[in-house]
Structure 1
Amino acid sequence: MQSGSFLGIVSPLVSSGAHMPKILPLHRITRFTRFTRFSLRDFIVAAGPAALAVLVTGLLAYWLVDPAPPKKIVMATGQENSAYEALGRRYAEALRQYDVELELRPTLGSRENLERLRQPDSGVDVGFVQSGSTAQEDAQRNGLVSLGSLFTEPVWLFTRKDVTRLSQLKGMRINVGPEGTGLPGLFRTILSVNGVEPDSLRLRDMQNTPATVALLEGRIDGLVFSSSPDAPLIQMLLQTPGIRLFDFAQAQAYTRRFPFLTHVTLPRGIVDLGRDIPSRDFQLIAPTATLVAHESLHPALVDLLVQTAASVHGGAGWFQKQGEFPTASYSEIPVAEAAVRFYQGDKPFLQRYLPFWLANFLQRMWVVVVALGALIIPLSRIIPPLYVWKVRSRVYRWYGQLREVEQAVDEAQATDRAEVYGRQLQRLNEIEERVNRISIPLSFADELYGLRSHINFVRRRLLALMPQAGRAAQQ
């Protein structure tokens, strides 16, 4: 038997009379460690296809089952110098810190915003819509959801004359804004319940800024806004001498007739305490501005928009208390589930402590975990036996070579046996030399030593047959 056995490798480690082990040459240490270490190569071959399948499944689950939220949202706002336009800029600035781009699309107002949201191909994801603009059935049919009511939008009627009843508007030139806003329909409804036919007024449809200029120049007698008091034009008109604000003294009756309206009071001196503007309380009726989105908007962006709405509208104002808005109330459009959870105080746990994108990534990982679990559990039972088979196959495949040697010996003709035996003996030596170079974990060493003993067994048999073959050749 040739040298190179495991005992032959280990025996130099201890000298016959020394207490300390000898230092082995580098090439022998390398050979020893190759024999004893875990077979990473076999493990990779056995687990590689399974790992690839897990990776592909995880990526598909991550990108297809629950795709990442887009980094761009399109918002329909309103006219130039309107409260909707100003609020859109505040939303864009707030979302920028989360690396979300908010593209603002100017519109005529609430009605046009609603129409764009009804059309999926318009590219609008979210917009400001006035309460009372649609019905619940229509919103559900068009896949619209509310992200909450943001603030009240009082109906401001400014006139150049002192008007105490709406019936006094007959024959006047009143601007109600373009039909793309929600105000023309609302104002016609208000006129009708006061017994005033819209045809008895000379209604105009100018946008807010040119209508304000026309009012100040006397080209129209009055104009109607439905906006928050933050709008620059509202602020200016409230402080302009000669421009009067209509007092809805029957505001409580309006709210009983129309559930989407609320009664608000403009307190005396709220505009300018020093100049006592206004000089008395004014009663106003107010729909609410609602943030409406298409139901296809990613839930993570719904969470982000609702949180942004809370930061923008959560403070105290002329017509609201601290924390009163935004709210899930005052909306005929169904409220999105994510928004309902937020208003109930159930803010996503991870978003309380982590940046938006990281929190969203971790929240979505459960999809990947479920997908991977469906693969890892069965694969965990397949990979170990496959690894064992792969390691043992490096030993077992040499038994085929050994069997070929035996077959060649058994099938040799009497006249050729000496030559065949010599050639097969050389082949056995080559097989043993290559087997000695096999790297295999120690837990499988018995397989290797079994192979080497079988090689030695065939060699002994062959050596025993060779003298008989020599005598047969001499005869």
Structure 2
Amino acid sequence: MKPVLRSTMSRIRKFTSFSLRDLFASATPTVLAIAAVCVIAYLIVDPAPPKHVVLGTGQDNSAYDAFGRKYRDQLAREGIAVTLQGSHGSSDNLAQLNERKVDIAFVQSGSTDEAEAERRGLVSLGSLFTEPVWLFLREKPGTAPVTQLTQLRGTKINIGAQGSGAPRLFRQVLDVNGVAPGELQTGQLDNTPATVELLEGRIDGLVFAAAPDDPLIQMLLQTPGIYLFDFAQAEAYTRRLPFLTHVTLPRGIVDLGRDLPARDYQLIAPTATLVARDDLHPALIELFVQAAGKIHGGAGWFQQQGQFPSAKYTEIPVADEAAKYYKDGAPLLQRYMSFWLANFLDRMWVLLLALSALILPLSKIVPPLYVWRIRSRIYRWYGQLRTVEQAVETVKDAPPEQRAAAYATQMARLNDIENLVNQISIPLSFAEDLYGLRGHIQLVRLRIQALLGQPHDESPAATV
């Protein structure tokens, strides 16, 4: 008995269970429409950021070069490949930005102005660190150290590598001192050969505009016979040239044990900034600014903890994404998710709002479609039932033999219809419609039996 019982229960479940197939068929058009909207939005609404970016740095072994490697390592953790493009410095980097050879670059403040930056479509991601003007001079026996830049007239000074920001900067410094470029012999050798020239005594001095991390600066600060010029009027320079700041090189900062330097030095300093074209993807701007916070956020020779990066000290307009970071910190999603997942959700929030408005009306279409699909299995048999009735009606006036044959044919057809109806599988919630159909089939059978003059007994085919 148990196998029979299991077989009976299986048949009941088959013919009365919830129809997932019908639900899927009813919901498929809606799901496909929503999926199509998602795909279109993914392709059109704010494309995904590129996975590769070119960063303009500086000369080999310079601070720009060293920091470029740190940015490359930092962004590699987020799946962004950074190619480092060497250069002579700020002016060279600006030229490469304008020529679209690099996407983002280190640029020294004072290398351009706001109007020019806006005209060329450049934006700043903020200032990163100070780059003091280091004027190293060779000691001359029997001659007092230089204390005023006007004393440089007639000397040989390397004012920085061609393509760097130092030549333009130092010319501005000389100009506010009333010293014309022709009043001293200037050279524009790269930093390393210029240092060799200074040490060999072939030039009187050289100018750097770089972070103190630069190995050449570290070496020159400890080289006998070479001394650093003290910008005693540093505060006045910052008033005349607003992109400069006044910084102090503290006594003993180079080597406390040897007391190097033996006193405080006043220096003037532009700042290094990250500059990008204004079409750089906003997500990459956010990522670079966050990397800048990790790389430059600590304390240093000339900065306090958290002073950099900053939206200050730059003449180039700050990008909106960078300004938002300096005001509110990293975007909320990026604090708890990976860069790519947070960026995807951030790009899709507009789509999610649209879908929330779209899903509600579409969801109201699915239930009626599901109901219609289930009931259509039943309603189509009413057409067959109506055909049987019409066939019976057409022979009412025919001879008795012809009517009897037609009635018998329709009775057999009706039995076939009933057998097929008994095989219909529908959910229990629609059982009323199925039993209504079976009742109507029985009514037609009774009518045909009456026309045939048969007793009104239930046909065996009417049972399940």
TM-score by length of 1: 0.88
Aligned to 1:94, what secondary structure does the other structure show? Answer: helix
Match of 1:473 in 2: none
Aligned to 1:25, what secondary structure does the other structure show? Answer: helix
- 1:149-164 residue pairs with structure 2 within 5 A? 149-161=127-139, 162-164=145-147
Is residue 87 of structure 2 the alignment partner of residue 104 of structure 1? no
Once the two structures are superposed, residues 161-214 of structure 1 have per-residue CA deviations (whole angstroms, 9 ceiling, x without a partner) of 443222232333322234422221111111112121112222222222222222
Aligned to 2:189, what secondary structure does the other structure show? Answer: coil
| Paired amino acid for 1:466 | L
| Paired amino acid for 1:31 | R
Are the equivalent residues in 2 in contact too, given 1:81–1:209 (CA < 8 A)?
no
Aligned to 1:331, what secondary structure does the other structure show? Answer: coil
Match of 1:326 in 2: 309
Match of 1:25 in 2: 5
Are the equivalent residues in 1 in contact too, given 2:174–2:181 (CA < 8 A)?
yes
**TM-superposed deviation, 1:431:** 1.3
**TM-superposed deviation, 1:379:** 0.4
Q: Distance in 2 between matches of 1:184 and 1:29?
A: 93
Match of 1:276 in 2: 259
Q: Distance in 2 between matches of 1:210 and 1:268?
A: 29
- 1:358-397 residue pairs with structure 2 within 5 A? 358-397=341-380
Match of 1:133 in 2: 111
Q: Distance in 2 between matches of 1:103 and 1:371?
A: 38
Identify which of 427, 437, 444 aligns with 1:458. Answer: 444
Are the equivalent residues in 2 in contact too, given 1:58–1:371 (CA < 8 A)?
no
Match of 2:461 in 1: none
Q: Distance in 1 between matches of 2:20 and 2:410?
A: 34
Q: Distance in 2 between matches of 1:466 and 1:216?
A: 129
Aligned to 1:344, what secondary structure does the other structure show? Answer: helix
Once the two structures are superposed, residues 76-133 of structure 1 have per-residue CA deviations (whole angstroms, 9 ceiling, x without a partner) of 11111211000001111222222222211111211222233234x43x2221111122
Are the equivalent residues in 2 in contact too, given 1:61–1:371 (CA < 8 A)?
no
Match of 2:52 in 1: 72
Q: Distance in 2 between matches of 1:102 and 1:238?
A: 33
**TM-superposed deviation, 1:255:** 0.4
Match of 1:290 in 2: 273
**TM-superposed deviation, 1:32:** 0.7
- 1:56-95 residue pairs with structure 2 within 5 A? 56-95=36-75
Q: 1:457 to 1:283 in 2, by over 3 A?
A: same
Q: Distance in 1 between matches of 2:62 and 2:432?
A: 85
Is residue 420 of structure 2 the alignment partner of residue 434 of structure 1? yes
| Paired amino acid for 1:188 | R
**TM-superposed deviation, 1:438:** 0.9
Are the equivalent residues in 1 in contact too, given 2:45–2:347 (CA < 8 A)?
no
Segment of structure 1 superposing worse, 169-178 or 239-248? 169-178
Q: Distance in 1 between matches of 2:329 and 2:257?
A: 43
Are the equivalent residues in 2 in contact too, given 1:80–1:209 (CA < 8 A)?
no
Are the equivalent residues in 1 in contact too, given 2:75–2:81 (CA < 8 A)?
yes
Is residue 58 of structure 2 the alignment partner of residue 48 of structure 1? no
Are the equivalent residues in 2 in contact too, given 1:78–1:109 (CA < 8 A)?
yes
**TM-superposed deviation, 1:455:** 1.4
Are the equivalent residues in 2 in contact too, given 1:57–1:371 (CA < 8 A)?
no
Aligned to 2:49, what secondary structure does the other structure show? Answer: coil
Q: Distance in 2 between matches of 1:258 and 1:355?
A: 42
Q: Distance in 2 between matches of 1:212 and 1:416?
A: 123
Identify which of 164, 169, 174 aligns with 1:181. Answer: 164
Match of 1:7 in 2: none
**TM-superposed deviation, 1:459:** 1.8
Q: Distance in 2 between matches of 1:418 and 1:77?
A: 103
Identify which of 310, 314, 321 aligns with 2:297. Answer: 314
**TM-superposed deviation, 1:467:** 5.1
Once the two structures are superposed, residues 420-462 of structure 1 have per-residue CA deviations (whole angstroms, 9 ceiling, x without a partner) of 3333222211211111111111111111111111111222222
| Paired amino acid for 1:250 | Q
**TM-superposed deviation, 1:24:** 4.8
Aligned to 2:356, what secondary structure does the other structure show? Answer: helix
Aligned-residue identity in percent:
62
Is residue 178 of structure 2 the alignment partner of residue 192 of structure 1? no
Q: Distance in 2 between matches of 1:50 and 1:212?
A: 72
Q: Distance in 1 between matches of 2:56 and 2:50?
A: 17
Segment of structure 1 superposing worse, 285-294 or 139-148? 139-148
- 1:105-120 residue pairs with structure 2 within 5 A? 105-119=85-99
- Unaligned 5+ residue runs, structure 1? 1-11, 13-21, 469-475
Are the equivalent residues in 1 in contact too, given 2:161–2:191 (CA < 8 A)?
no
Q: Distance in 2 between matches of 1:134 and 1:421?
A: 102
Segment of structure 1 superposing worse, 60-69 or 249-258? 60-69
Q: Distance in 2 between matches of 1:373 and 1:294?
A: 36
Q: Distance in 2 between matches of 1:167 and 1:69?
A: 52
Q: Distance in 2 between matches of 1:140 and 1:405?
A: 84
Match of 1:471 in 2: none
**TM-superposed deviation, 1:256:** 0.5
Aligned to 2:365, what secondary structure does the other structure show? Answer: helix
Q: Distance in 2 between matches of 1:211 and 1:35?
A: 93
Match of 1:235 in 2: 218
Are the equivalent residues in 2 in contact too, given 1:66–1:367 (CA < 8 A)?
no
Identify which of 245, 253, 272 aligns with 2:228. Answer: 245
Are the equivalent residues in 1 in contact too, given 2:110–2:243 (CA < 8 A)?
yes
**TM-superposed deviation, 1:23:** 7.1
Q: Distance in 2 between matches of 1:135 and 1:189?
A: 14
Q: Distance in 2 between matches of 1:36 and 1:141?
A: 73
- Unaligned 5+ residue runs, structure 2? 140-144, 455-464
Aligned residues: 446
Q: Distance in 1 between matches of 2:175 and 2:280?
A: 38
Identify which of 399, 414, 421 aligns with 2:407. Answer: 421
Q: Distance in 1 between matches of 2:262 and 2:286?
A: 42
TM-score by length of 2: 0.90
Are the equivalent residues in 1 in contact too, given 2:126–2:309 (CA < 8 A)?
yes
Are the equivalent residues in 1 in contact too, given 2:107–2:272 (CA < 8 A)?
yes
Aligned to 2:295, what secondary structure does the other structure show? Answer: helix
**TM-superposed deviation, 1:147:** 1.5
CA RMSD of aligned residues (A): 2.1
